[in-house]
Chains A and B, each alone.
Chain A
Amino acid sequence: DTEVTQTPKHLVMGMTNKKSLKCEQHMGHRAMYWYKQKAKKPPELMFVYSYEKLSINESVPSRFSPECPNSSLLNLHLHALQPEDSALYLCASSWMRTSGQTSYEQYFGPGTRLTVT
């Protein structure tokens, strides 16, 4: 089973709202990722968690706040977003984080379609 689940599927929020995206995997993977994907573009890496610790932050604005409560769950807390933040937010997981000469398959969830009004 290579399933990563994400909730909600769709989210519409105003610029003053606070909302959270949730991601879950039960494959025993120790690395989890958040990506942002704009229409007709490839996914762009935002954050990487390895063993529940933040290991990569791709200079993402502080209005996006990731959290990894345990090895199966990954959250993305959203606050004071801008309309340009509207996108598909993808979660992915892999056995371990890519490191040096060893890369591991990343499996993606279906994404949350976020619209900021």
Chain B
Amino acid sequence: GENVEQHPSTLSVQEGDSAVIKCTYSDSASNYFPWYKQELGKGPQLIIDIRSNVGEKKDQRIAVTLNKTAKHFSLHITETQPEDSAVYFCAASSRDDKIIFGKGTRLHILP
């Protein structure tokens, strides 16, 4: 089945700098890649997603890139702010119609 690896597990960046989180997937049939942000005590919030027919997608300060050949996809957050501190999960669709999550990245924005 599908397997999603996510790195790093923890990331600390200075406020105003950029943060990059990387994921790889194993199943070449996966075609949908959402990213979720989870703040303490809350449910995961869908922040951006990308489908396999697109290489890049941007929404204000966040962007996602997809390399189908290498089976890599990444989340980029620019001009980071304190409210960006959270756990971020990447995910990929699977052949058996489920969403498989990476293990998460805890992002700390340092003042």
Do B46 and A106 touch across chains, with their CB atoms under 8 A apart?
Answer: yes
The interface size bin for chain B is 20 to 34
User: Quick one: given A42-B102, A105-B49, are A97 and B97 in contact (CB under 8 Å)?
Assistant: yes
Bound-state CA distance A98–B44 (Å) is 18
Do B97 and A110 touch across chains, with their CB atoms under 8 A apart?
Answer: no
Is B98's beta carbon under 8 Å from chain A?
Answer: yes
Is B99's beta carbon under 8 Å from chain A?
Answer: yes
Q: Mark B36-63, 1 if CB is under 8 A from A, else 0.
A: 1000011111100101000000000000
Interchain nearest-CB distance for B46 vs A (Å): 6
Do A108 and B32 touch across chains, with their CB atoms under 8 A apart?
Answer: no
Q: How many A-B residue pairs have CB under 8 A?
A: 53
Do B103 and A42 touch across chains, with their CB atoms under 8 A apart?
Answer: yes
Interchain nearest-CB distance for A54 vs B (Å): 14
Is B101's beta carbon under 8 Å from chain A?
Answer: yes
User: Quick one: given A42-B89, A98-B93, A101-B31, are A106 and B42 in contact (CB under 8 Å)?
Assistant: no
Residues of B within 8 A of A98 (CB): 32, 93, 97-99
Do A111 and B43 touch across chains, with their CB atoms under 8 A apart?
Answer: yes
Bound-state CA distance A48–B96 (Å) is 12
Query: When the two chains form the complex, which single residue of B44, B49, B102 contacts A108, counting CB atoms closer than 8 Å?
Result: B44
Do B101 and A42 touch across chains, with their CB atoms under 8 A apart?
Answer: yes
Q: Which residues of B contact A (CB under 8 A)?
A: 31-32, 34, 36, 41-46, 49, 51, 89, 93, 97-99, 101-104
